Each structure stands twice: as C-alpha cells, then as structure tokens.
Amino acid sequence: MEQKIIILDFGSQTTQLIGRRVRELDTFCEILPYNKFPKDDPSVIGVILSGSPYSVHDPEAFKVDLSQFVGRLPVLGICYGAQFISHTLGGKVEKADSREYGRAHLSTVDTTNPLFKGFEQNSQVWMSHGDTITAIPEGFECIASTNDVKFAAYASKSEAIWAVQFHPEVFHTLQGTQLLKNFVVDICGSTQSWSAASFVDTTVAELKAELGDDKVILGLSGGVDSSVCAVLLNRAIGKNLTCIFVDHGMLRKNEFRDVMHDYECLGLNVIGVDASEKFFSDLSGVTDPEQKRKIIGRDFVEVFNAEAKKIVGAKWLAQGTIYPDRIESLNITGKVIKSHHNVGGLPKEMHLQLCEPLKWLFKDEVRRVGRQLGMPEHLITRHPFPGPGLAVRILGDITPEKVRILQDADDIYIRGLRDYKVRLSGEDARKVLAAGVPAEMTDGEIEVSLYDQVWQAGTVLLSTVRSVGVMGDERTYEHPVALRAVTSTDAMTADWAHLPYDFMAKVSNEIINKVKGVNRVCYDISSKPPSTIEWE
C-alpha cells in the first residue's frame, strides 16, 4: 500500500506548496480540509498542520481534534499549526507587538533534535504571522529561536510532535527542504517510492485494467496537462484512444498546425477540427468579457460533442484534471468548502464515464511524467494558456484581423523569451530547478531562457484604444499592445517578472517594425492580487 503524508489545510495560501515540497521528496501526500482527517487509513505515516489566515483566538478559527492522530502518528505544525498545538495543549499564544513577516535567522537551533539534523546555525527562515507563542505546553521543549521569536520551534519530550512558527515550504527558508526531509523521511519513515517512473508504471497498469478494450475520447488543448494525459493513455490503450483538438481560431500563431504535427509524431490518434468560422461568427460584435467566455465555452462543447458522437462505442471521456483542480479550498470568510470550478463532471447527454489519469499530480509532477514518457521539451514546458485563447487578450470585439495582429505580436514576444538566455544563481536558480526546468548547475549557476524563468507570458491587444505614432515621417493612428509576464508557483498569487531592459527594447522595436496595426508597446507591472494574470 502506498505510504502517504496527510496535510490538513487550515486555509493557508502556501498549503499546496507544502504538498509540492513533500512530493519532491518522492513521497505521496494528500491535502485535506482541516476537519476531514481519514481516521481509518493505514497508509498514513504522518500529519502536517498548515498555516491559516486566522488567529487561534478568533471565534471562527478552524479547529481540529488532535486526539485523532497525536500519540499515533508523527505530527508537524507549521505557523498556525504550531500555534494551534500550543494553544490546545496548554501553552500560550498572544498577539505579537508587531506582525512578524519576512526573513529571520535562527539564533539558536538544537541540531541534536531529529527535526533539525544537518541544520546550520543562523540559518535563514521565513516568518509570516501576527500572533506569537509566548509559552509552550508542559512536557515540551524549545528547539530553535530567533532574536525576536523565542519559540521559533518546539517539540514534545515524549510524543512525536514538532512545531515551527516559520514556513519551511517557502524558498526563503533556505534549509526548509532539509527540515521537511528530516520529518517525512527520518521521522515518519517514508521509503521515498513515489516518483514519475513509478507513477507511469502503476497508472498504465491501472488504466489497462480499468479500461480494458473500451474506447476513450479526450479533448486536447495543446497544453501540458491534456498532452501528458493523452500520451499516458496512448501507452495504456493505444488506438482505443481518440483525441479531438478543436481550433476556435484564437490560438497562437501556427499553433494548430504545429501542435497537430507534435501529436502525430507522438503516435496519437487525433482528429483536428477547424471551427474558427463558427466561433468568429458567434462572437461578432460581442465586447463583454464574460459573454465572450460563455459563447466560446458553449461553442466548444457543441463542436466537441458533434465530433465525439461520430466515435461509435466510446464509453469514457478522459480529462487532464490535475490535483490542484480537485483540492477542496477553504473559504476564509466562512466555513464553506468549495471545489475548483474545473471539476464539473460530464454533460448529461454524453452518457460517458470519466477518466482522470493525472488527478493526483501537481503541475511540476505532470511535467516530470511527460519527460518520463519521452515527450518533447517544448510541449512539457509550455506556459499555461487560457481556454478561450486570445479572445480574452483582445479588449473589445473579436475579428480575424485583430487576432492576426495579436498573433504576430505575441509570436515575436514568445520567440524572444525562448531565445534570450540568462544565468541564475542562489534563490533564483533554486526556484527554476524546483519547477522542473532541466538545467545543469555550473560553478553555482544555471543557464535558462527567459521563457523558462517566468510562469506565464502573453500579449494583450488594446483594440479599443488607438495611439498616435510616427513612422517614416508619416503620422500613424494604431493600436498599442501590452506585454505580460509573471512569476508564480501555482497562479494563486503572481508577481510581474523583471525582464531585462535590453530584451524589452529589442522586442518592442521588432513588434512595432514588423506588426502592421501596432505602433506602441507597454509592459504590465501589476501583480496578482490585486490584478489578475489575464486582462479579461
């Protein structure tokens, strides 16, 4: 039976990051709401309590019955989790004089304690809390402090309980991975048997057993999730898989042709459908962003269903749903649990069963599985791209000419990001490597493209705006475009990428000189929140 770590989510923005760090230790983990601990699961080898936006003193704060696992399994509390353990077992948690947020250093650390094995003195950690632990329960001892936080970490003298007020899961805690490894591997006893190779072998065997000779339909988007899903299914059931790739006319430049070629080279059975005429007709004159999305979603279902009905005897619909789509997220304004909007089941008229081979994987794990399957790197590292495509990157109504302008400008931008190489070291290098980008470390540095350094990039056409310009002594009155590039780990929050000035200058000049209809280039320097990654 597969070993697993249970991560109980109290509403922290970094809970998924804890999960990713545990998975990087080749250990399976499951993220569950704080009140859904699986009491009778013998595969659980340890429990981690996440952070939370609440104070333990808030009347609506999330609470869990610790007796479900304390004394039976090793437990690690992080931030709110550490405060909750202390508060519940007889310690004291009080509001800090000032919110403790940012880098700190462990002025003292007990490296004889198994949680801090291999730690350096004065190791950097990341704090983010408004309350602080001022007294720990009886039978516990302090195992780490900073200059400002006496109980930066504490542990039980008799039970397998550890707690840290800092966040080991974030990159700013420089030995955070070491701490999590000490807990997951040394304390909990993980055999570290969860890997891309083991996942492929196990999943292919399970798919063969579950699907047998049944026919399966899969909608492809060109993105990494659906592409990896297709190759995995193809390895299991071969020609019994039929993929449908719908071109709504708002893909990137030459994308339909290029992706179809990639899929054919991978040996996939793919039906390509050019439905751009229908989409452009139905979108004519529509300017409201939400209405655009609804029309595209409706038309896609109609086109996809029409093709799917031609496949006689199909019993399954496969989807590239990944784990973050399925994790129940806590609504911090109340105690309502909601599911991700991508998980909506099947249209009733299709009468198909659902197959989701990637449902336990994080995005970086999907990429590792893709590499294990031998897929080309440009498919694996492709940035996220919205389902409605360039329609949500054109402000105003959609026309083939506006799409052409945006495709040309975006093609120059994306090719430029792929061609421009940068050398990274330290924290920046660790972030890129942790995201699964293949790069060799030389003298403490790695070389990657700007494309690999950012989470997502794209171009926006401000077609409702015209600006004055001068080209060849002639006055122009054309559209501006805005370039967008963000860094992120999960798209829940994102910061604008600090692209080099020389790169920005080169791309700007090339777009203005080569793309008819554009005479101004801007760069979007807003973060999420308050802005979103896409403009519409």
Q: Are 137 and 66 in contact (CB under 8 A)?
A: no
Q: Are 342 and 321 in contact (CB under 8 A)?
A: yes
Of the candidates 22, 35, 91, the one whose C-alpha atom is nearest the C-alpha of residue 62 is 35
**Which residues fall within 8 angstroms of residue 264, CB to CB, at 6 or more apart?**
270
User: 509: which 2 tokens?
Assistant: 């000049």
Q: Is 167 a catalytic residue?
A: yes
**122 by DSSP, 3-state: which?**
coil
Taking the C-alpha atoms of residue 44 and residue 29, their distance in angstroms, rounded to an integer, is: 9
Bridge partners, 95 (sequence order): 131
Active-site position among 24, 30, 100, 169: 169
| Interhelix angle 400-419/501-514, nearest 10 degrees | 150
Using only C-alpha atoms, what is the Rg of the chain? 25
Give φ, ψ of 123 to 5 degrees.
-65, 140
Bridge partners, 144 (sequence order): 109, 153
Q: Which helix (H) or strand (E) holds 377?
A: helix 377-380
Taking the C-alpha atoms of residue 11 and residue 54, their distance in angstroms, rounded to an integer, is: 8
Residue 142: burial class (beta carbons within 10 Å; 0-12, 13-18, 19+): middle
Residue 490: burial class (beta carbons within 10 Å; 0-12, 13-18, 19+): middle
Q: Helices then strands (H, E): number in the chain?
A: 15, 23
Residue 507: burial class (beta carbons within 10 Å; 0-12, 13-18, 19+): buried
User: 12: which 2 tokens?
Assistant: 């922290």
In the chain, the amino acid numbered 477 is Y
Active-site position among 24, 30, 87, 167: 167
Active-site position among 24, 29, 30, 79: 79
Bridge partners, 299 (sequence order): none
Q: Is 349 a catalytic residue?
A: no
Bridge partners, 216 (sequence order): 241, 316
Whose structure tokens read 């770590």? 5
For residue 210, the Cα-to-chain-centroid distance in whole angstroms is 28
Bridge partners, 76 (sequence order): 48, 162
Q: Is 79 a catalytic residue?
A: yes
In the chain, the amino acid numbered 60 is E
Residue 187's Cβ-side half-sphere holds a number of Cα atoms within 13 Å equal to 26
Taking the C-alpha atoms of residue 254 and residue 437, their distance in angstroms, rounded to an integer, is: 25
Q: Are 22 and 52 in contact (CB under 8 A)?
A: no
Reported residue count of the chain is 536
In the chain, the amino acid numbered 501 is Y
**301 by DSSP, 3-state: which?**
helix
Cis preceding-peptide flag for 357 (omega within 30 of 0):
no
Q: What residues are labeled active site?
A: 79, 167, 169
